[in-house]
Structure 1
Amino acid sequence: MLPTAVPDRRAPGARTDVLVAGGGTAALELLLALEARLGGAARVTLVTHDARYHHRPLAAYGGAVPDATTVLRLDELTAEHGAGFVNDALAAVEQGPDGAPVARTVSGGRIACRALALAVGSRADRVLPGAIPLGARDGAGRLRALADEVRAGAVRRVAVVVPSGVSWTLPAYECALLLQHAGAAHDVEVGVLTGEHRPMAVFGEAISATLATLLRRRGIELRTRTRAEAFSDGRLWVPLEPTIAVDAVVAMPHLAGPATPGVPADAEGFATVDDRGRVVALDEDDDPVDGLWAIGDGADHPVKQGGLAVAQAETAAADIASWLGAGDGTPPPDGTRVLRAALLDGAGTLYLRADREDGGWRSTVSREPLWWPPTKIAGGRLAELLAGPTAPRPAPVA
């Protein structure tokens, strides 16, 4: 087992300048951005229940593509970058006697800090009854088994469902393309049912049209503005329409926020934040703890996407440095106005980029990388760290 550094319940509470709660991509991106901006002028500590970071960019597809998991020991990573490490989980946020945040942990520890950044992610709240949840850990084994059955031709008809209210829908289309590719030798039929009025509408018209064309060429039926209710006995139930005969259904789940006690949140549990990542109250009568930030999937940003979480980490790091009066507080360019995503279709990778401009999106689609390193989560310091210093850099794409 890895060594832990959980504060003793009987001892006075631990202290740090900045506490980052979480052990995923957003949390580590923020940790690295804070190191770069603060330059050792403030003590940064990471608190997370998992002593290892599991970079699983393809985990959602459970066997439809080869595993590409990278594992980092967080005690070693934090030590290498001059940060502290607490192997525990955040339970609640309180206000200390000086008005600054205090993190209460599951083990009973208390960690006082000048700034607390939450990057604790979201959770799968509900999924279409009878369906395999896409991206949820408890669905990975079932999806792996489905991919094996599709390759063997034992499953011939699969539906991938995107429920209404899900903003980042790329995993559903990627899953459909990968399953169709896996079952191409057996003419496996794959369809997508989505509540969207067009596929990947968040990315703008050009990318949406490209995706619709790709689905059509691959023989994947697309049904938009469609809501499924349940899957049972080989039938997918759709309101006011005939049931659809399929062998298996994969569905994106609805997400819910962590609803951390002491942190203002919306009705679904996502921390409410401003454009700097600072936690703000929804009700003007509420008085949130000063020095509190939230980034990544646990914040109330409308689109939950790794590349945007990287941009949010940079923005929060700049604001935290300014809050502490240490390091460079200059905000970075507005990375939240750029969406980048790598779409696997079984035959290769499509690199997608959309730049927000007045009046719409300017979109780019390429089979060549549009960023470097060409990782699933685009941009940021963590991607460069995972790629390693010797990774070759290709010539830029015009």
Structure 2
Amino acid sequence: MTVPAVLPHDAAAAPAHTQVLVVGGGTAALEVVMALHERAAGEVRVTLLAPDPHFRYRPLAAYAGLVPDTRQTVAVPPLAAEWGASVVGDRLASVDLDRRVATTTHGGRIAYEALVVASGAAPEAAVPGAVTLGAPHDEPAFAALVARVRAGQATRLAVVVPPGVAWTLPAYEVALLLAHAAPPETTLVTVLTAEDAPLQAFGDAAGDAVRSLLRRRGVELRTSCPPETVAGGTLPVPLGDPVPLDAVVALARPQGPAIPGLPHDRAGFVPVDVRGRIVGEDDAWAVGDVTDRPVKQGGLAVQQADVAAADVLRHLGLQDGETAPARPVVRAALLDGQGTLYLRAEHGDDGWATVVSREPLWWPPTKIAGGRLAAYLAARETALVD
């Protein structure tokens, strides 16, 4: 399939045209492309508006120095072509929903019949003075901290979950990994979370499993603690003097892109319904971290992508019936330095049904669980090894 021309922004010029325009270059966007191709058997014309010519699968990138580098890099144009899509290398600047035209940052325009936005969110520092986990600009500082921990030079650490962060598992994971990396019996790692319990959003069983693991690994847990608790670089002690901290690591607070022309809340996230359709729109969808769904997690984004793709095809007349919204299933692989704890939580009429296991609960047992992309990359990796 040829790449559609992106024309300069000129009122007299007709924009390039596609049936489905998918915006983004990450996991959620590629999942949408794959789902559209698989469900429609190649009958839909898809364009991917991606800012980078390479997709970097880096679910463990935040833990540089703590876990082996398992990144995979794939060229986007041939991957997209394999799944029936063409690529425009640019970013989304704005959308005219009434005219169904997207404008890129370089002034190009693309008309569409259906739009799917999967452009992600940006990590925002939420705790002053802390190293922000997963923020690209703090990756060198985090790597330097890991080196200090391994050398026994940083022995009192705090990992903070600030308010406004719904996916909190990375805090417990990095605390366990830091404790494991330190020389034996030299380092105190404390998790301070604004939650009332670990993984509070996913029921008691998941939280109890994490709490028990932290206790066995010697990681202290303090719940219902706001980030101000570590202000000034000290750890408060009940009925005692504050303890100086060598370093504080904090989860990032996600910030939405507030794309001009798209509805968004005060944090810049796009409001969507249970099928991923942008609220108030008939031919525009959003999936993944760009949406106003509170939990920003790769496995959930994969599920959202599949539902949105089905609804797009129904809208285009390529799939019959109503699109059934998926009941979200949370799958999480928590690394503790000695192995992996797998958690699977599904919310039903009677609350959360949770399974915790040291054996994989899905296949392939990737960090971002489920979907076509994980299976595709696993098969590709196996082929390269063979």
| TM, length-normalised to structure 1 | 0.90
Structure 1 unaligned segments of length 5 or more: list them. 282-287, 393-398
* Residue identity (%): 52
Q: Say if 2:258 and 2:269, in contact at 8 Å, map to a contact too.
A: yes
CA, structure 1 residues 17+182, in 2 after alignment: closer, same or farther (shift >3 Å)? same
Per-residue Cα deviation, 1:104-161 (whole angstroms, up to 9, x for no partner): 1000000000000000001123320000001111111111111111111111111000
Per-residue Cα deviation, 1:328-379 (whole angstroms, up to 9, x for no partner): 666467241x111100000000110011121311111111110001000111
Provide the rounded CA distance (Å) in 1 between the counterparts of 2:381 and 2:154. 43
CA, structure 1 residues 128+239, in 2 after alignment: closer, same or farther (shift >3 Å)? farther
Q: Say if 2:314 and 2:323, in contact at 8 Å, map to a contact too.
A: no
CA, structure 1 residues 78+89, in 2 after alignment: closer, same or farther (shift >3 Å)? same
Q: Say if 2:4 and 2:17, in contact at 8 Å, map to a contact too.
A: no
Q: Say if 1:322 and 1:328, in contact at 8 Å, map to a contact too.
A: yes
Shift of 1:228: 2.1
Match runs of 1:228-307 below 5 Å? 228-229=227-228, 234-236=233-235, 243-281=242-280, 288=281, 290-307=282-299
Per-residue Cα deviation, 1:2-54 (whole angstroms, up to 9, x for no partner): xx976242764211000000000000011100001122222001001111111
Provide the rounded CA distance (Å) in 1 between the counterparts of 2:157 and 2:265. 35
Indicate yes or no: 2:341 matched with 1:350.
yes
Alignment-derived partner of residue 155 in structure 2 = 156
Provide the rounded CA distance (Å) in 1 between the counterparts of 2:338 and 2:120. 31
Provide the rounded CA distance (Å) in 2 between the counterparts of 1:135 and 1:238. 28
Provide the rounded CA distance (Å) in 1 between the counterparts of 2:91 and 2:178. 36
Provide the rounded CA distance (Å) in 2 between the counterparts of 1:291 and 1:135. 33
Provide the rounded CA distance (Å) in 1 between the counterparts of 2:6 and 2:350. 52
Indicate yes or no: 2:312 matched with 1:317.
no
Q: Say if 1:196 and 1:225, in contact at 8 Å, map to a contact too.
A: yes
Alignment-derived partner of residue 61 in structure 2 = 59
Alignment-derived partner of residue 285 in structure 1 = none
Shift of 1:166: 1.0
Aligned match for 2:318, one of 320, 323, 326 = 326
Q: Say if 2:124 and 2:135, in contact at 8 Å, map to a contact too.
A: no
Provide the rounded CA distance (Å) in 1 between the counterparts of 2:278 and 2:171. 31
Q: Say if 2:7 and 2:109, in contact at 8 Å, map to a contact too.
A: no
Structure 2 unaligned segments of length 5 or more: list them. none
Shift of 1:229: 2.1
Indicate yes or no: 2:215 matched with 1:216.
yes
Provide the rounded CA distance (Å) in 2 between the counterparts of 1:238 and 1:6. 63
Report the residue type matching 1:248 in the other structure.
A
Alignment-derived partner of residue 6 in structure 2 = 7
Match runs of 1:101-116 below 5 Å? 101-116=100-115
Alignment-derived partner of residue 385 in structure 1 = 376
Provide the rounded CA distance (Å) in 1 between the counterparts of 2:72 and 2:324. 28
Q: Say if 1:129 and 1:231, in contact at 8 Å, map to a contact too.
A: no
Per-residue Cα deviation, 1:159-215 (whole angstroms, up to 9, x for no partner): 000012211000010000000000043521111000000011122111111110110
Which secondary structure does the structure 1 equivalent of 2:69 belong to? coil
Report the residue type matching 2:93 in the other structure.
A
Provide the rounded CA distance (Å) in 1 between the counterparts of 2:192 and 2:239. 15
Which secondary structure does the structure 2 equivalent of 1:191 belong to? strand
Shift of 1:241: 9.3
CA, structure 1 residues 6+147, in 2 after alignment: closer, same or farther (shift >3 Å)? farther
Q: Please tell me the root mean square deviation across aligned C-alpha atoms, in Å.
A: 2.4
Q: Say if 2:4 and 2:16, in contact at 8 Å, map to a contact too.
A: no
CA, structure 1 residues 26+239, in 2 after alignment: closer, same or farther (shift >3 Å)? farther
| TM, length-normalised to structure 2 | 0.92
Shift of 1:244: 3.9
